[in-house]
């Protein structure tokens, strides 16, 4: 009865406070990593949500027959705030208007220059969408091992401290092992959300990148036809 009563007051905080220095360091690392990971998860959720909304808005407006010249003039005024298809469109049409003014240039060269400019803009957009994904992947793959290292170290420390005892019962060993196992639990707590978020956001990023690629190809075809028509009339 005395042993049971003495362990009723054991809390999660008390187990963390009584853990060895190495285990506490592992717990601190996992706690910091988890906080950063959750911050990035929510931030990435807002970024992708806005990206989907912007691509829907721009493509609806573009394919509903908006005047390309007016659309370019309007969007280029706030180019720093553009993203997704709008950024690709502005980069491509700017290059088209620059090359189209050159005398003697072939339509194929115009299209090639436009595609090159749009792919540079596309690469920037994809890099922006993929920001922090590598960190989430790293957290998801390494956090369990960090927690496991803290657990193994804590169990080793617990058994070493009990090695000098003549009679080491479960009541003596259990608290030390429980303190060590918290590191594993924290490692899983940090890793599981990071893995889920990484898989979800990586798929969303691939979907957006695919839509950007489709728009790039379709807009290239539009400008190609326009370039040949313009050159045929000169």
Q: For the segment 86-143, what is each residue's pLDDT rounded down to a tens digit?
A: 999 999 999 998 888 888 788 888 889 999 999 999 999 999 999 889 999 999 999 9
Inter-residue contact 87 to 121 (CB < 8 Å): yes
Residues with Cβ within 8 Å of 163's Cβ and at least 6 positions away in sequence, in order, are none
- Taking the alpha carbons at both ends of the chain, their separation in whole angstroms is 101
Q: What is the pLDDT of residue 53?
A: 92
Inter-residue contact 84 to 51 (CB < 8 Å): yes
Query: H helices within the chain, ranges in order?
Result: 2-7, 12-18, 21-63, 68-76, 85-100, 107-129, 133-162, 170-232
Q: What is the pLDDT of residue 174?
A: 62
Cα distance between residue 231 and residue 148, in whole Å: 68
Half-sphere exposure of 17 (CA within 13 A, CB side): 5
The pLDDT tens digits of the residues spanning 139-162 come to 999 999 988 888 887 777 767 766
Residue ranges of domains in the chain: 34-232
pTM reported for the whole predicted model:
0.79
């Amino acid at each position: 009865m005395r042993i049971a009563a003495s362990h009723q007051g054991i809390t999660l905080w008390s187990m963390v406070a009584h853990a060895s220095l190495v285990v506490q360091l592992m717990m601190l690392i996992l706690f910091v990593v988890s906080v950063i990971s959750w911050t990035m998860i929510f931030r990435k959720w807002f970024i992708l949500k806005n990206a989907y909304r912007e691509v829907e808005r721009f493509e609806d407006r573009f394919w509903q027959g908006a005047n390309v010249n007016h659309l370019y003039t309007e969007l280029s005024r706030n180019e720093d705030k553009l993203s997704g298809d709008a950024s690709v469109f502005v980069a491509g049409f700017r290059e088209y208007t620059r090359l189209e003014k050159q005398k003697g240039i072939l339509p194929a060269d115009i299209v090639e220059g436009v595609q090159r400019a749009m792919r540079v803009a596309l690469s920037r957009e994809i890099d922006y969408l993929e920001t922090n994904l590598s960190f989430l992947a790293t957290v998801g793959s390494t956090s369990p091992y960090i927690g496991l290292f803290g657990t193994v170290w804590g169990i080793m420390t617990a058994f070493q401290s009990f090695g000098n005892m003549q009679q080491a019962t479960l009541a003596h060993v259990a608290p030390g092992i429980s303190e060590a196992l918290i590191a594993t639990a924290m490692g899983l707590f940090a890793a599981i959300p990071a893995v889920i978020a990484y898989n979800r956001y990586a798929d969303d990023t691939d979907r957006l990148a695919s839509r950007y690629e489709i728009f790039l190809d379709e807009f290239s075809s539009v400008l190609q036809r326009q370039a040949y028509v313009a050159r045929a009339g000169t």
